[in-house]
Amino acid sequence: MSGLNLDDFATLIERPDPGVRRDAEARRERLTPRPGALGRLDELGEWLAAAQGSVPVKPVEQVTALLFAGDHGVAELGVSAGPKGGAHELVRATLDGRNTAAILARRAGARLRVVDMSVDCDPDGLPEDVTRHRVRRGSGRIDVEDALTAEEAEAAFRAGMAIADEEADSGTDLVVLGDLSVGGTTAAGTLIGALCGTDASVVTGRGGAGIDDLEWMRKCAAIRDALRRARPVLGDQLKLLAAVGGADLTAATGFLLQSAVRRTPVILDGVVSAACALVAQRVAFRAPDWWLAGQSSGDPAQAKALDRMALNPLLDHGVTVGEGTGALLALPLVQAAAALAAELPERD
């Protein structure tokens, strides 16, 4: 991969400032109500202070809900409740404000950004600012072929890095990361199964919209076959993403790593963002310190990935719709933690 050395991330990414976190903990000791009374909100406030390098913590006001979009060739096997090539409709509904992510982002005051990496449609049917990073129309069928060429994988990864820089440069306080994909959970299950060394059945979930038993068996078989293709390239994370990831997942991985370099905190949504985060952790072990797990979706692969990264979900409401929904539901908790840490008075 010309000019792209993932090993650099391990050096470039530092942990959120531990000294600032200690200062935030000391300040919390002096506030009302007493420490522990706010439960996990205390921990969130201290984490934000360390991420921001600021005591007291600053308000979380400039938020971007970022959704990477793509179609996956494996969807033609009937592994998803959505139709093959259906990501275009997901993108269109988001842009028109007709899905859960759009509604929640609007209510939370978050900027909604959709990035088409591999949607299987004519790019003229979508706005140019959505399609400008597109790598290809649809990713390859990962059970029998690579999702991307080496050149496409590098282009997708660099696109994710560039978007992270754009968000950091624009003053974004926090990013909510989600996906708009059809077949993406199959790719995610494959990545997690490969990195955790588990069998296909252990990481095969029911997907965002839910699938029946026959579709689950087809999905399990697809992940099994994709795992055979993934295992020989486990030592090279970019090759792994090219083999069984896809353009949207590759871009999200690049985004997560560069966001950690730029000290931008991120809330992860479901199994797709968890899979990208797990790949990113393999590249730079300190990177997960910049992320929160927004919710537990009930997907077994997501649970395995979060456990491997020691990320404890903020919410567990059984939300499986994807599209950044679970992470957006967690956003008010993070904003509340920042407000309380900043504004609660000290005890007399």
At 313, is the pLDDT very low, low, confident or very high (cuts 50, 70, 90)? very high
Q: What is the pTM of this model?
A: 0.96
Structural domain includes residue 219: yes
Q: What is the pLDDT of residue 84?
A: 83
Q: Which range (84-88, 194-198, 301-305) has the least confidence?
A: 84-88
pLDDT digits (tens, 9 = 90+) for 79-137: 887 788 899 999 999 999 999 999 999 999 999 999 999 999 999 989 999 999 999 99
Instruction: Kindly report whether the peptide bond that precedes residue 33 is cis, defined as omega within 30 degrees of 0.
Output: yes
Domain match, 48 and 190 both? no
SS3 208: coil
Catalytic residue among 46, 154, 167, 323: 323
Do 327 and 283 share a structural domain?
A: yes
Across 194-199, average pLDDT: 97
Per-residue pLDDT tens for 198-254? Answer: 999 999 988 756 678 888 999 999 999 999 999 999 999 999 999 999 999 999 999
> Are 49 and 74 within one domain?
no
| Residue 270 and residue 300 share a domain | yes
d(CA 20, CA 225): 47
Tell me whether residue 2 is in a domain. no
What pLDDT was estimated at residue 81?
75
Strands 111-118 and 63-71: parallel
pLDDT, residue 206, reads 81
User: Do the domain assignments include residue 308?
Assistant: yes
Q: How many domains does the chain have?
A: 2
Whether residues 122 and 75 fall in one domain: yes
Give a yes or no: residue 131 inside a domain.
yes
Tell which residue, 314, 305, 311, has the closest CA to residue 282: 305
Q: Does residue 220 sit in the same domain as residue 259?
A: yes
> 24: domain CATH number?
1.10.1610
- Statement to judge: residues 50 and 73 lie in one domain: no
Task: Answer for the pair 90, 98: CB distance below 8 angstroms, yes or no.
Answer: no
Let me know if 347 is exposed, middle or buried by CB neighbors in 10 A (0-12, 13-18, 19+). exposed
**Residue 61 among the catalytic residues:** no
Look at residues 348, 115, 78 and name the one whose alpha carbon lies nearest to residue 248. Answer: 115
- Domain assignment of residue 143, yes or no: yes
86/154 same-domain check: yes
pLDDT at residue 2 above 60? no
Residues 34 and 75 occupy one common structural domain: no
Do 99 and 195 lie in one domain? The reply is yes
Going by C-alpha positions, the residue among 185, 207, 179, 184 that lies closest to residue 65 is 179
C-beta separation of 110 from 130 below 8 A = no
- The range of the structural domain enclosing residue 26 comes to 7-58+339-343
pLDDT of residue 209: 62
pLDDT tens, position by position, 260-283: 999 999 999 999 999 999 999 999
pLDDT at 189 over 70: yes
Q: What is the pLDDT of residue 96?
A: 96
Q: How many C-beta atoms lie closer than 10 Å to residue 151's C-beta?
A: 12
pLDDT, residue 1, reads: 40
Q: What is the CATH classification number for the domain harbouring 252? A: 3.40.50.10210
- Alpha carbon distances (Å) from 323 to 93, 169, 231, 335: 11, 25, 29, 20
If DSSP codes are grouped into helix, strand and coil, which group holds residue 131? helix
Is the domain of 51 the same as that of 69? Answer: no
Q: Are residues 161 and 116 in the same domain?
A: yes
Q: Is 348 a domain residue?
A: no
Q: Nearest 5°: CA angle at 169, between 165 and 172? A: 95
Contact 115, 82 (CB under 8 A): no
Q: Count other Cβ atoms within 10 Å, centred on residue 262.
A: 17
